[in-house]
Amino acid sequence: MTQTVVAVGRDADFKRIVRTMREWQVSALPVLEGDGRVIGVVSEADLLPKEEWHAQDSPLRRPRTYSEELGKAAGGTAADLMTTPAVTVHPEAFVSAAARIMAEKRIKRLPVTDAAGCLRGIVSRSDVLSVFLRPDEEIAAEIRESILGPMADTLGEVRITVQEGVVTLSGDLGDSHFVPLVVRTVLSVEGVVNVHLAV
């Protein structure tokens, strides 16, 4: 995560939000209250209804979407415009969990909050993807120590190679019913792109 995070308070006005986004080149800002507790996130998507409202053929003028978007179009502060509650992640969460949340919610940035809900950092898509730059040797060492080591009594002699994040397991993986578990466990290691079996 990035620990230096730009955020706004609930009373930040529309123009200040836009200026802050442009200055820091971000597409979303956490909205904070009191001692830094995250109460929402205001994104470019939250700001667009105001411009859309001015368009002659705006869908906001249609009854079906009018009530849903009118509040955002008329909003003038972060409290009016933000999406709430904020979708956040805990500092101890795995990168894979952050990636899953971002994919499911279709968001680009994810505030990192502590147990009290206070902002501690932010995770972006580029942060999540950077895990795939992890060195092959480091990935192989983690698999040997954290997965194959504890499973030594169940597995036979297993050899492992990692090239560009692709793990190849060869040798004796033991009972064939056990193989899918080994593969899923190896896939969960940060930086693993795929797993191949050569047994």
Average pLDDT over residues 12-23: 95
Q: Are strands 28-33 and 8-9 parallel, antiparallel or unpaired?
A: parallel
In tens, the pLDDT along 113-139 reads 999 999 999 999 888 888 889 999 999
For residue 68 the two structure tokens come to 């849903």
Average pLDDT across the chain, whole number: 87
Q: What pTM value is reported for the model?
A: 0.69
Between CA 126 and CA 120 the distance in angstroms is: 18
Between CA 159 and CA 196 the distance in angstroms is: 12
Greatest Cα-to-Cα distance within the chain, rounded to the nearest angstrom: 71
In tens, the pLDDT along 28-38 reads 999 999 889 99
Q: Which residues pair with 41 in a beta bridge?
A: 30, 83
